[in-house]
Structure 1
Amino acid sequence: MRMHLVFGTGLVGSYLAGNLALTGHQVRVIGRDKTIKALTKGLRLSDYQGNAAQVPAIYQYHSREQDIVEVIWLTVKCTSLNLAVRELRALVKTGSIVICCQNGLRAVHQMRTAFPNCKVFSAVVPFNVVRLEDGTLHRGSEGRLTLPKEIRRVLPELSKTLNSELLQVRLVSDINAIQAAKLQLNLSNAVNALSDLPVKQMLEDRGYRKVIAHLMREWLEVASTNRIALAKVTKVDGKWLPFILSLPDFMFRRVAATMLDIDPTVKTSMWWDLQQGKPTEVEDLNGEVVRQGVLARNYCPANKVIIDLIYEANRQRRETGSYKALSASELLNEIKIKRLEKSSYKI
């Protein structure tokens, strides 16, 4: 059986490593010492549908095992990719299989440039993972781990052997369109971080939904101009999401009940990054919209203002230990102002 290495032991990486172990794969990890120590004691996985399982111990990768590692799951955030490239140079070999699980659109290109002799694939992780008080890694929202069909040429067994109640897998013909659609959904991450609310509570507020709708409209406009295809990854086509998000609360609850069918404690990874004073992925999400907007000659003021506000929140967090949460009306007002002035944001 192939040896799988999970590079990055954050919430998603640890959940993936746990599922690999649970489904009988040989797995090793590279990541934070504290997290690896916890993994060696075993871990518990659960999900929002009530499934749960206890996973046996997972151990750290050692250099003496280098010759048997065939599959590398890259689960660090976009902000850590440069560091990951440097560390992986001692691990990868010709023919190594690297699976990039990052948000945004650029990770796979960076890894293919860095490792031209490897087989590099994109993966889309559409669900959210949180750590509960008892240490359980909990998948708090729906979605299947999505991989390109061409991965079957090198890992023909993966979609069956990795599939479980706690992690469903699907293969698609156009992973780029899935990533572009996921980017549309991820534009809400920064709003969640700035609101300092759980995702469910944020979505129950029409004001915050209208902010997200502004961000999505800009992405849909520049994607259309630049001929970037977006797959359908939700029950309704993504082009209708801005309209649905803008509906009055009572209509939204009826039309989009499944959007609220998430764990009430879930917050996005960008919220966690801000809380811990870490760099965020805003440049890879909202920043991608702005970069594509330059090509489309579209100013994208809503996404620009969100970028500026995330940087300001991060500055506040570094200097004072906390940052000021922003109300929906404050965010909407900032977007209105930004439309009337030139942004100082540099692309």
Structure 2
Amino acid sequence: MTHLVFGAGLVGSYLAGVLAINGYRTTAIGRDTQLSALAAGVKLSDFLGNHATAPAVTAFNQHNDDAPEVIWLTVKCTDLTRAAQALKSVTGPKTSIVCCQNGLRAAHQIRAALPGRKVFSAVVPFNVVRLDDGTLHRGSEGPLTLPREIKRVLPGFSGAMQHPLLSLRFTSDISAVQAAKLQLNLSNAVNALSDLPVKTMLEDRGYRKIIAELMREWLEVASVNRIAVAKVTRIDGKWLPFLLCLPNFLFRRVARKMLDIDPTVRTSMWWDLQRGKATEIEDLNGEVVRQGVIARNYCPANKVIIDLIHDAEKQRRETGRYAAMSASELHNEIEIKRLEKSSYKI
């Protein structure tokens, strides 16, 4: 079985490395720096202490390489439109596409652009960072989750990703898992605005209470709109807002596993802001607001976070940096928006 990783960033390169270690013919499409690292044999590690060096992964050559059997689409949501056009020239009639994006809409967008192709959603719950020595390091837990149907369409697929560096899970309801991942991803924007590592942010009750409010809004609109939200963490997602609001001493005791992450881990949205790139805010918190329109729920906390991220994007473009915000500043902005809506109703 041949594999192509389309969008060999941090997560894509990590997946390509695991595929190559497992002996699969793997090629990649990405930036020259990433492709050079893969060609040299990238080192992989994880927070559990596992490590390995992958065989060389070469750049995909459209003229010499046959269409792959599996394409792992690992570009950001913001690059999907461009990627969909490029995929038309590298897919064949038997190519299956696995969409690894955040949010709920990526697979629908690719199916619309490539009718007749087999398109699956995947949920990537972990973070990958590049260490100083070039090692790609998985800094948080969670299994790569795929729809059970893919095993029927692609017999033998399971072995491609089974490795100590990457756990694998299959589900009969990938949409519910995506909805649960969306809930967890609502913290990405708070992490970006705080300008702190994820662990440090979670140790601050003020930031946790902001994340809890974002999650409450999502759970409310998901319930009204009958969107199933799977249980993907040890604690059911419906209890996470309550847990996040606990005093620090209780939170540290009850949520030890939540804090058992690499102290250097930052979210992808933080990295996007640092690099001056467009963020996925419209595909994450923006999805909550869109679903809120259907549910007739104003979702003020998510609306505020969207505005603040767009402000930060503008600051970064114009000045090369953006101002970090404290938890109290974020709370005040949300309360102002809530009061504006209350006044409007009156």
Same fold at TM > 0.5:
yes
Q: 2-side partners of 1:65 and 1:140: how far apart?
A: 36
Which range moves more in the overlay, 29-38 or 261-270? 29-38
Q: 1-side partners of 2:76 and 2:138: how far apart?
A: 18
Per-residue CA deviations over 1:139-178 (Å, capped at 9, x if unaligned) read 0000010000000112221223321000111111100000
Give 3-state SS (helix, strand or coil) of 2:69's partner. strand
8 Å contact 2:102–2:283 — kept in the other structure? yes
Which range moves more in the overlay, 306-315 or 36-45? 36-45
Q: 1-side partners of 2:311 and 2:264: how far apart?
A: 25
Output the TM-score relative to the length of structure 2.
Answer: 0.97
Aligned-residue sequence identity (percent) comes to: 70
Q: 2-side partners of 1:152 and 1:302: how far apart?
A: 40
8 Å contact 2:208–2:244 — kept in the other structure? yes
Amino acid at match of 2:41: G
Per-residue CA deviations over 1:262-281 (Å, capped at 9, x if unaligned) read 00000000000000010000
- 1:208 corresponds to: 207
Q: 1-side partners of 2:103 and 2:111: how far apart?
A: 15
Match status 1:146 vs 2:153:
no
- What stretches of structure 1 of length at least 5 have no aligned partner? none
Amino acid at match of 2:20: A
Per-residue CA deviations over 1:64-88 (Å, capped at 9, x if unaligned) read 3443411110000000001101111
Q: 1-side partners of 2:298 and 2:104: how far apart?
A: 20
Instruction: Give every structure 1 segment of 4 or more consecutive aligned residues whose post-TM-superposition deviation is greater than 2 Å.
Output: 64-68
Q: 2-side partners of 1:260 and 1:52: how far apart?
A: 22
Q: 2-side partners of 1:191 and 1:312: how far apart?
A: 13
Q: 1-side partners of 2:8 and 2:73: how far apart?
A: 10
Q: 2-side partners of 1:205 and 1:159: how far apart?
A: 40
Amino acid at match of 1:190: A
Which range moves more in the overlay, 333-342 or 40-49? 333-342
The alpha carbon displacement at 1:95 in A equals 2.8
- 1:340 corresponds to: 339
Per-residue CA deviations over 1:304-333 (Å, capped at 9, x if unaligned) read 000000000011101111000000000011
Match status 1:184 vs 2:183:
yes
8 Å contact 1:66–1:91 — kept in the other structure? no
Per-residue CA deviations over 1:97-151 (Å, capped at 9, x if unaligned) read 0000000000000011111110000000001100001110000000010000000
Amino acid at match of 2:296: R
The alpha carbon displacement at 1:340 in A equals 1.3
Give 3-state SS (helix, strand or coil) of 2:154's partner. coil
Q: 1-side partners of 2:284 and 2:5: how far apart?
A: 23
Aligned residue runs from structure 1 range 1-347, under 5 A? 2-342=1-341
Q: 2-side partners of 1:184 and 1:38: how far apart?
A: 33
- What stretches of structure 2 of length at least 5 have no aligned partner? none
Give 3-state SS (helix, strand or coil) of 1:45's partner. strand
Q: 2-side partners of 1:163 and 1:69: how far apart?
A: 20
Q: 1-side partners of 2:35 and 2:222: how far apart?
A: 40
Which range moves more in the overlay, 58-67 or 236-245? 58-67
Amino acid at match of 1:287: G
Give 3-state SS (helix, strand or coil) of 1:9's partner. coil
Q: 1-side partners of 2:73 and 2:64: how far apart?
A: 18
Q: 1-side partners of 2:162 and 2:92: how far apart?
A: 27
Aligned residues: 342
The alpha carbon displacement at 1:37 in A equals 1.3
The alpha carbon displacement at 1:33 in A equals 1.0
The alpha carbon displacement at 1:60 in A equals 0.1
Give 3-state SS (helix, strand or coil) of 2:5's partner. strand
8 Å contact 1:195–1:326 — kept in the other structure? yes
8 Å contact 1:104–1:288 — kept in the other structure? yes
Q: 1-side partners of 2:78 and 2:328: how far apart?
A: 30
8 Å contact 1:211–1:328 — kept in the other structure? yes
8 Å contact 1:47–1:139 — kept in the other structure? yes
